[in-house]
Amino acid sequence: MKELRPYAMRCCLRGYERPAEWPNQPHRHEFAGQRDRLLAPATVTRKHVTKTILTEAMKPSRPISRHSGRQDHKYGRTAFTLIELLVVIAIIAILAAMLLPALSKAKEKARGINCLSNVRQVALASRMYTDDNNGEFVPQWVQSGTPGWRWTYDQATFIVQDPDFLWWQDSLRLGNYCKSRKIFDCPSLVGVASLSSGGSVSTNNAFGIGINVPEVGQTFAPSLPGRKPIRESQVAKSSRMIFFADTGTVTAATKDLDPDLWQPDKTADWSGGVGFFRVPSLPSFKTSGVGRSIARHSKRCNFGFCDGHGESLRNSAAGYQYPRTDENALWALDHNSLRAP
C-alpha cells in the first residue's frame, strides 16, 4: 500500500488539498531532496490517515464567545446577550399574566364543586334526620332546659361552641347523620367563624353553609313553651323548596339590590362564617346583611333542597324578589300565606 509522509498527513488534516498549498514548504523542485530527508523517518499508511481524519471530524466543535471572540470552554455554548435575556423574561411575564387568571378561575370552580358536594351531604343528613324523627325538621337551635331535649356539651368536639345552645350542625353530628365535621364549611372561606353573628361561633369550623330561617330553621327555648316543630308534610313541594345554601354577610351597599348583585363582605369571611340565612319572611331580612345566601362561586350559589338534592344556581333563582305566595319563591315552605308558619 502506498505510504505517506507525516508532514503530508498533517497538511491533509489541516485542509490543504494540493502540495503547493502546504505552509512552510520548500520549493518542490529545488529542495525536494532536502524535504524528503527531513520528513523521512516515520511513515503511516493511507488507512491510518483515513481513521485519524474521521476521529478528528467526530470531535464536537467549541463555540466562540460573542464578546471576546474566544471559545466558551466553561459552558460549551454561546452566551446570551442582555437584550435576549430581557426579551425572554418579558415573554415569560406575558404568558404568566395570561395564565394566572385562568388558573384562578379553575381553582374557584374546584372549590365550588367541593362546596356543592358538602351542601348535598348536609341536605341528605337532614333528610335522614327527618325520616328518623317522624317527619320533623332539624331545628336551627335548641336552648338548654327546653323540655324533651338533653345533651352534654363538650367544647373540644362541638362544632358550634355555645354551652347554652344545641345548633343544627351538632344535632346532625350527635345523631350520626354525618361523618365529617367539614361538610358544614364552604371551601372558599379562609378563616374560622370565631366572630360569627347570630351565635353560631366556632374556633374549629369556617361555616358558610346555612339553614333557611325562619321557614324551616325552628328555634326552641324554655321561654317558648308549646312551640311545635316544622314537619315535612307542611312543604308544598320538597324538590322545589330550599333548605340549605351558601351563606355569609353581604355588604351594606348591596344588601338592598337585586340578589345577583349582592357582594360578600370579605372582612367577615375571615372570622364571621354564618350557619343560617335569612329569607324575606323574616322581618330582619330587610335591615340586616348578615345571614344571606351568597353567590361566591363564579356568580353561582349552591342550594340544598328539602328532598336531599343540591343545585348550583344564580342567587335570583331562589325567588327573593317574589312574594311568599308565588310558586317561584323557592325559599318558602308553602305558598298559602305571606307569613311563615
What are the extents of the domains in the chain?
Answer: 3-58, 114-318
pLDDT bucket at 244, cuts 50 / 70 / 90: very high
Q: Percent of the chain beyond pLDDT 90?
A: 52
Mean per-residue pLDDT of the chain: 82
pLDDT bucket at 68, cuts 50 / 70 / 90: very low
Rounded Cα distance between 165 and 154, Å, is 12
Going by C-alpha positions, the residue among 193, 158, 156 that lies closest to residue 174 is: 158
Give me the pLDDT at residue 278, please: 95
Give me the pLDDT at residue 15, please: 60
Average the pLDDT over 141-147 and give the result.
95
Q: What is the pLDDT of residues 176-225, one digit of tens each?
A: 999 888 999 999 887 788 766 667 788 788 889 999 999 999 999 999 98
Most confident of 7-21, 198-212, 317-331: 317-331
94 vs 330, more confident: 330
Q: What is the pLDDT of residues 284-295, one digit of tens each?
A: 999 999 899 999
Average the pLDDT over 120-136 and give the result.
96
Give me the pLDDT at residue 14, please: 63
Give the position of cell 344545641: 166
In this structure, of 52-56, 66-70, 108-112, the range with the lowest mean pLDDT score is: 66-70
Rounded Cα distance between 102 and 13, Å, is 59
Q: Where are the alpha helices (DSSP H) in 143-223?
A: 168-174
Rounded Cα distance between 122 and 210, Å, is 10
In this structure, are residues 142 and 220 in contact, taking their beta carbons and an 8 Å threshold?
Answer: yes
98 vs 89, more confident: 89
Whether this model's pTM surpasses 0.75: no
Residue 301 has pLDDT above 70, yes or no: yes
pLDDT bucket at 334, cuts 50 / 70 / 90: very high
Q: What is the DSSP letter of 65?
A: P
Q: What is the pLDDT of residues 17-61, one digit of tens each?
A: 556 665 655 444 444 444 444 444 445 455 555 555 556 555 555
67 vs 252, more confident: 252
Q: Does the CA dihedral 120-330-260-249 come out positive or negative? A: negative
Give the position of cell 460549551: 76
Residue 98 has pLDDT above 70, yes or no: yes
pLDDT bucket at 99, cuts 50 / 70 / 90: confident
Q: Percent of the chain beyond pLDDT 70?
A: 74
